[in-house]
């Protein structure tokens, strides 16, 4: 990538960082993308599954096709990074690097537009609502694969802590399946000085919280991966009243369907036992979210070959992460691969979903270069 394009992409990325929009509200972000595509002379369609944008590049006479995807939404987090291009939207920031993902896909478009060495069609998928808003499913439901044919699809996520610009390619699972966990404990309220006349949901919640932690540590095979984290407990409003209800909320993550089924069953079993023990009712709701994001073998190999052709560091030794990614839904429809590109040091709170995070503009050449290279490799068969 030449210096001028890198500087242009850096300017675009910092504009997006300064003007973040949360899930399902990416109107201005989508308009910015459309303006840049017009400047590049690349045709597109807007409002695909919400604020989604799909641009199409075609060269030569090949009927081969490939998709490249980037997400565009931000998070409801108050930024504390102090960078000159920090968020100007109070309480909203790009704490996951979607501003960088979007910009690097625009960069890949610029590289491919000026490269005569490939033949076929590249679909550039700019996806809204990745952060729990069902953006991938919405674009698929809007006819993504029928309206914009692609034989396979590729994407990436920046990865703090991994060497800047290095690309990590996993053999199979990359990110986990996720469920939300909601537990409502209903007892009988009363005066805190007369506890024998109540059924205390607080005490039941305490035992439930501890018992749930035995699921992973004592019932899941140590060679499998699972996470069950209860993140909130809400109950009561007065210091002298035992409340009627307590509500616990959390998340579970797994890398295999059988483990997912097992953990869900164990949550129900333990909740039933605690309810019987303390004379309360416990309602369990475990809505399923993303499935496992797992690379297809052929597309994984294409990703490796693209990294090697690009000449950036390749990592094959990293374990899957228990974070989730709705790129998984594209992989239910088409084969593909999802890689990590190093964002550099995570020191100083530059972790994903941290208020001090910022995407590393120095990796834009690697990120855009990888996306362009893997598209060309896929089109070459």
Helices (H), the chain: 3-18, 27-40, 98-113, 135-141, 144-147, 201-219, 257-278, 297-310, 328-331, 364-379
Q: Where in the chain is the domain with CATH 3.30.70.360?
A: 177-285
Does this model's pTM top 0.85?
yes
Helix then strand then coil, in percent of the chain rounded to 5, is 35, 25, 35
Average pLDDT over residues 273-302: 98
Residue 342, CA distances (Å) to 121, 159, 165, 330, 346 in order: 28, 5, 5, 23, 10
Q: Does residue 68 surpass a pLDDT of 90?
A: yes
**Confidence at residue 361, expressed as pLDDT on a 0 to 100 scale:** 98
End-to-end Cα, the chain, rounded Å? 24
152 and 334 Cβ atoms separated by less than 8 Å: yes
Average pLDDT over residues 254-278: 97
Query: Confidence class of residue 381 from pLDDT cuts 50, 70 and 90?
Result: confident
- The string of DSSP letters for 310-376 reads HT--EE--PPPBS---TTHHHHTTS-EEEEEEEEE--TTT-STT-TT----GGGHHHHHHHHHHHHH
What backbone phi and psi angles, to 5 degrees, belong to 266? -65, -35
129 and 50 Cβ atoms separated by less than 8 Å: yes
Q: Where in the chain is the domain with CATH 3.40.630.10?
A: 3-174+292-379
Write down the number of H helices and E strands in the chain: 10, 16
Q: Does residue 108 surpass a pLDDT of 90?
A: yes
Tell me what percent of the residues of the chain surpass a pLDDT of 90: 99
pLDDT digits (tens, 9 = 90+) for 173-192: 999 999 999 999 999 999 99
Q: Which position has the token pair 């307590």? A: 246
Q: Does domain 3-174+292-379 have CATH number 2.102.10.10?
A: no
Q: What is the mean pLDDT of the chain?
A: 97
Pick the CATH number of 177-285 from 3.50.50.60, 3.40.50.2300, 3.30.70.360, 3.10.129.10: 3.30.70.360
pLDDT digits (tens, 9 = 90+) for 337-375: 999 999 999 998 899 999 999 999 999 999 999 999 999
């Amino acid at each position: 990538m030449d210096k001028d394009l890198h500087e242009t992409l850096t300017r675009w990325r910092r504009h997006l960082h300064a003007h973040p929009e949360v899930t399902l509200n990416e109107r201005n972000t989508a308009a910015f993308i459309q303006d840049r595509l017009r400047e590049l002379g690349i045709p597109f369609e807007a409002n695909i599954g919400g604020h989604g944008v799909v641009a199409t590049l075609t060269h030569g006479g090949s009927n081969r096709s490939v998709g490249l995807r980037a997400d565009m939404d931000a998070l409801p987090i108050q930024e504390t990074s102090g960078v000159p291009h920090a968020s100007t939207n109070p309480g909203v920031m790009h704490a996951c690097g979607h501003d960088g993902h979007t910009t690097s896909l625009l960069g890949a478009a610029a590289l491919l537009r000026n490269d005569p060495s490939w033949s076929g069609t590249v679909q550039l998928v700019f996806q809204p609502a990745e952060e729990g808003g069902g953006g991938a499913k919405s674009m698929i439901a809007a006819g993504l694969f029928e309206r914009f044919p692609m034989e396979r699809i590729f994407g990436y996520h920046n990865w703090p802590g991994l060497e800047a610009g290095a690309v990590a390619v996993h053999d199979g699972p990359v990110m986990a399946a996720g469920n939300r966990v909601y537990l409502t404990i209903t007892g009988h309220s009363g005066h805190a000085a007369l506890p024998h006349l109540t059924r205390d949901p607080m005490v039941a919640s305490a035992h439930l919280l501890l018992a749930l932690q035995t699921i992973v540590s004592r019932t899941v095979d140590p060679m499998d991966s699972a996470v069950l984290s209860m993140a909130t407990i809400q109950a009561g409003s007065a210091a002298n009243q035992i409340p009627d209800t307590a509500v616990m909320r959390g998340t579970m993550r797994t890398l295999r369907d059988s483990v997912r089924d097992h953990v869900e069953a164990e949550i129900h079993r333990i909740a039933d036992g605690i309810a019987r023990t303390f004379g309360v009712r416990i309602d369990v709701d475990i809505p399923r979210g993303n499935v496992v994001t797992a690379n297809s073998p052929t597309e994984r190999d294409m990703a490796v070959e693209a990294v090697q052709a690009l000449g950036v560091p390749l990592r094959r030794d990293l374990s899957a992460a228990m974070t989730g990614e709705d790129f998984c839904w594209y992989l239910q429809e088409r084969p593909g691969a999802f890689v990590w590109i190093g964002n550099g040091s995570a020191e100083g709170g530059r972790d994903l979903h941290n208020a001090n995070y910022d995407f590393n503009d120095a990796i834009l050449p690697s990120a855009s270069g990888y996306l362009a290279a893997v598209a060309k490799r896929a089109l070459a068969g």
